[in-house]
Structures are given as C-alpha cells and as structure tokens.
Chain A
C-alpha cells in the first residue's frame, strides 16, 4: 500500500494507535480486545481487506452444499420424477440446484435416476469419472440402490454401488418428490460434516 509516497509494510501493526487498557476484561468486547484480535481487525481495515472468522472447512462446505449442480442423467422412470422435482411445484431451486447440467464436467452431483442395466453401467461409470472433484452420488429409487423389482433380471445391475460410490440411498419406486428433497437435505448434512474440522468437532 502506498502512503504518502512511502512504502509501508502491510504486515507491521502500529501498536501505538491501540490504547492498552489496564482494567480487567468484563464484557465480551473486552475479552476480544484482550486477545489482540481487534488489533488484527484494525490492521486488516488499514489494509482495506476483510477478515472472516471461520474454519476453512466450514466455508468450503457451505459453498459446496449451497449450489449443488446435478448432471442430467435420467436413466428410467425416476427421471420423470426428477423433472417433477425441478419444476415449479416442488421447486428444487430452493436448494440452489435447479441448474441440471448437460455436461458432467460442470456438475458435482449425480442422481442415478433409474435402472442401471449392464449395458449402461460402463457409461454411468464413465460419466462419474468425468465429473470433477468434489463429487457426490445419490442412488435414486430401489433400482439404483439394489436392482429393485428387476433384481431377478439377467440384464440389470444389482445396485449402482457395485460400480461407483454412493453417498445417499433413496428408497421408493419411484421416490416421491418429497423423498428427493429429504435425500438432498441428508446430502447437505453430509457435506456440512466433511473435512478435518468436522472430525475434531469444530463445525458445530
């Protein structure tokens, strides 16, 4: 930062500007003052920057769960309910997910919506591998979870978790839109508790 033509080291904190009080900290503000955080804030203000008190995990998780973009990969019956969820009545846009991307490169969530046949399985796997990290998978309906009513069929994969990792299983044939929304909320809870901070109990 330039100040009067003299280069000032931005990291140096001018402690003379801060009055040091002798009295015991009583209020929360006093306690905060005592920790020296205020001087940090003041120096940040001097540098015209911003400070956010949080853990990195919390910020990242919040950003990730707030706008999950699903990939458009309707396989069978559940895809019609996927359309119904995206439409005005159930309106998944409330969760920031209304943008169904046609390309897996732009998506971070995959609804495996329907029966995964043995012919389709390599393509579903490829689709998953094309998605950039971090990525999540919701197995929609009994077909994607276990094979469902087509468990006995010769041509159906018995659960999509045989080829790709699944985060949330959603029962139903097909699941109601309310079940979709519940599954999305469960996934958001899961994302919220990801990372080291969550393991150490810092995200509470």
Chain B
C-alpha cells in the first residue's frame, strides 16, 4: 500500500546525531525511503589551517578532529612528519605513545557504547562509561595536563616523561576496568530489548563495506579481518601479542560486540606495555626532540627546535585509530609550513554508507545503526 511521501528533517540540532549532522529523510509512512546526510555544519577549515601553520603548530589542531580520541590523531600526523623527515624515535617514546593510544581507544569505545545506549533509551551505560572515562582522563591529566586535547606527541618523541605515581594508578585502572567490562556485558549483552533493537538492523555485507571504504570496528563487524596494527604494523605493534576482533554478522549488534572485545584487547596490550616499558629515560630523539627533562619544567619547549624544516617530498601515513583508518597526506616544499595537508578521516568514510544501511528501516533504527557507526562530527567535517 502506498502512502503520501513525507519529508522529515532531522538535525542539525538533535540529541541523537552526535553533533551537528543533518539527515533529510523521505518517509513512506513510517519507513525510510531515502536518507540523505547533509554535512558541513562543523567545517572548520582544518586542512587550510594546516597550510598556514608550521608543523608543530598544527599538532593541536589534530586534537580537535576526533576530539574523543585525540592521541591517535596526534600520532597519525606526527608519524607522517617523522616519515617525511626520517626521524628515529626512541623505544620508550614509542611505548608511551602506544600506551596513550590504547587507553584512548578504551575511552573512545566507552563513549561510543554509552551514547549508543542512551540513544536507545538506556541511561545506565553512559553513566557507567563516563565513570570509567573519568579515571582514564585523570591518567591523561597526569601525563600532559589536559583532559581531552593533549598536544602531547611531538615529532621525535613525546613532550614529557611519565610522572611518578602514574604506573600504580594505571595498574589500578587496568585491574578495575577488567571487572567493569564484565559488568557492562552482564548489563547489556543479554538484554532482550537491546537484541531486538540491534540484531539484523543496519546489515551490510563485507563486499559493500569494503566498497564504501569502511575501516575500523565497523568493518570488522562485517567479517573483514582488516586492522592496520596487524596489516601494516607501525610503532611497537609487531612486538605485541593481540588478536583482531571480528564478527561475521555485519549488523549493528556485531559492531557493538566488536567494540566490547576491542576494549578487552586494549587492556591486554596495555598490560604488555606496562610490563615491557624500557627503563631508559630517553623520550625523544636527540636531533629533533625535546631534551630529557633535567632543568626546570619551563625549559621543555625551549629545547624543542622552533624551526623545523623537513626535506621536500610527500608522504601518506595511516594508523588504526579507534574509529578506523586515519591517514594524513602531507606535502612538504622544504619550508617550515606544509604545502598541503589532506586528512583521510574514518568517520567521514564510514558515514557515507548510512543511506544504504537504513533504507527501508524506521527512524529509531536509523538512530541505532548510526550509533554503531560511531561518528564524530569534528572528524567528518574537519
């Protein structure tokens, strides 16, 4: 039976669009006939700013791309610059970087799962998720003084060494988090309403997912064993023992479970990092980094070379960010500023598949499917 077509505008101010995304929905009764995401409400011109700022000045802007997990953004850009200039990084700095990135992966998945369940109408999980997030943020604060936007990873190393009292607190967090994830699974995984809302909703086949350019937990929920930490190892990941979490169903529930499993894998990685952390205090390369902190804390930035000129060339460098493959394409013309910075953000590529995911479903299913894609609008619009 055909009914009149109804045009519904959802967003840009809507509690379930995780920011300022707008959906234009053509409805046939209650089911979605066509869904068009309208982007650009948070377009801040980050790529253009990259051409105006020096390499070091641009690092804070990478924090604000995917603001839930800023350490991987820092690292992705710094890795590109390091490949461009051929900078060697000391082992301890790499360990600290991986430590921060895996902690940030846990934080990202906590926020993602929490907001997904809040959109579905269950407020407990976001309270619990933010409770553990606070603990992780306190660790970040000990490292670099900031809660969300860190500016911590620099070419050649990291800004400061791990402070005293960090490691016991981290161990406490790891021990606590293991139990908490059990709690989450007990709370959510067996819930029948949750199953009805998530299973067979937003199904995408492995082939379609790859064709849409999906990466990260969203792609691994469709049964593709693609993780850049294994596929194209960087940093110290080849030395670490972890497995890639994959589910074959390709629906919203599978993507949710992959995130849950990834939190456990991140805990496993973190434990190895804590055990194998090199004892040397060298946290940055002698030529390009910050000298080890010996004097007053104010002397840190003055040790870092203000004028940093990589040789002319271009590089595309990518890492496995919590949301997927995050790539930076940096072109240098031999001056202090990049000639071009192109950001390949995971959220944008993952979001492009939403029309095909939700066509034929209802609006509440759109929210469920959209929540599992885990999009951050700062990363989409840049």
Size band of the interface chain B makes with A: 20 to 34
Stretch of A7-15, A28-36, A42-50, A82-90 that contacts chain B: A82-90
0 or 1 for each of A167-183: is its CB under 8 Å from B? (1 = yes)? 00000011010000000
Docked CA distance A84–B60 (Å): 22
A155 touches B15 (CB 8 A): no
A89-B134, A119-B41 in contact; A77/B149 too (CB < 8 A)? yes
Number of A-B residue pairs at CB separation under 8 A: 92
Q: Is B43 an interface residue (CB 8 A)?
A: yes
B19 touches A75 (CB 8 A): yes
Q: Is A58 an interface residue (CB 8 A)?
A: no
Q: Which residues of A contact B40 (CB under 8 A)?
A: 119
A120 touches B48 (CB 8 A): no
Q: Which parts of B9-66 form the interface with A (CB within 8 Å)?
A: 12-15, 19-20, 40-46, 48-49, 52, 60-61, 64
Q: How far is the CB of B54 from chain A (nearest CB, A)?
A: 13
0 or 1 for each of A113-156: is its CB under 8 Å from B? (1 = yes)? 01101011001000100000000000000000000011011111
B131 touches A87 (CB 8 A): yes
Q: Is A193 an interface residue (CB 8 A)?
A: no
- Which residue of chain B is the closest to A115 with respect to CB atoms? B44
Q: How far is the CB of B152 from chain A (nearest CB, A)?
A: 15
Q: Is A161 an interface residue (CB 8 A)?
A: no
A80-B111, A84-B130, A123-B13 in contact; A74/B19 too (CB < 8 A)? yes
Q: Is B133 an interface residue (CB 8 A)?
A: yes
A80-B111, A119-B41 in contact; A89/B130 too (CB < 8 A)? yes
Docked CA distance A80–B148 (Å): 9
A76-B377, A77-B64, A80-B111 in contact; A150/B45 too (CB < 8 A)? yes
Docked CA distance A48–B41 (Å): 58
- Which residue of chain A is the closest to B141 with respect to CB atoms? A176
Other-chain residue from B15, B44, B130, B134 in contact with A72 (beta carbon distance below 8 A): B15
A77 touches B61 (CB 8 A): no
Other-chain residue from B14, B45, B67, B127 in contact with A76 (beta carbon distance below 8 A): B67
B133 touches A149 (CB 8 A): no
A87-B131, A88-B131, A120-B20 in contact; A77/B67 too (CB < 8 A)? yes
What is the interface size of chain A, counting residues whose CB is below 8 A from a CB of the partner? Answer: 33
User: Chain A at the B interface: mostly helix, strand, loop or mixed?
Assistant: loop
B15 touches A76 (CB 8 A): no
Q: How far is the CB of B336 from chain A (nearest CB, A)?
A: 16
Q: Which residues of A contact B377 (CB under 8 A)?
A: 76
- Which residue of chain A is the closest to B128 with respect to CB atoms? A88
Q: How far is the CB of B381 from chain A (nearest CB, A)?
A: 8
Q: How far is the CB of A106 from chain B (nearest CB, A)?
A: 13
Q: Is B203 an interface residue (CB 8 A)?
A: no
- Which residue of chain A is the closest to B53 with respect to CB atoms? A152
A117 touches B133 (CB 8 A): no
Q: Is A79 an interface residue (CB 8 A)?
A: yes
A83 touches B19 (CB 8 A): no
A89-B130, A115-B42, A117-B43 in contact; A152/B149 too (CB < 8 A)? no
Most chain A beta-carbon neighbours within 10 Å: one of B48, B49, B61: B49
A-B contact list, 18 entries, CB within 8 Å = A72-B13, A75-B20, A76-B20, A76-B44, A76-B67, A80-B68, A81-B147, A84-B130, A87-B127, A87-B131, A88-B130, A89-B134, A102-B15, A149-B61, A152-B49, A153-B49, A154-B45, A174-B147
Given A83-B130, A150-B45, 8 more pairs with CB closer than 8 A: A74-B20, A87-B131, A89-B134, A100-B15, A115-B44, A127-B13, A149-B64, A153-B48
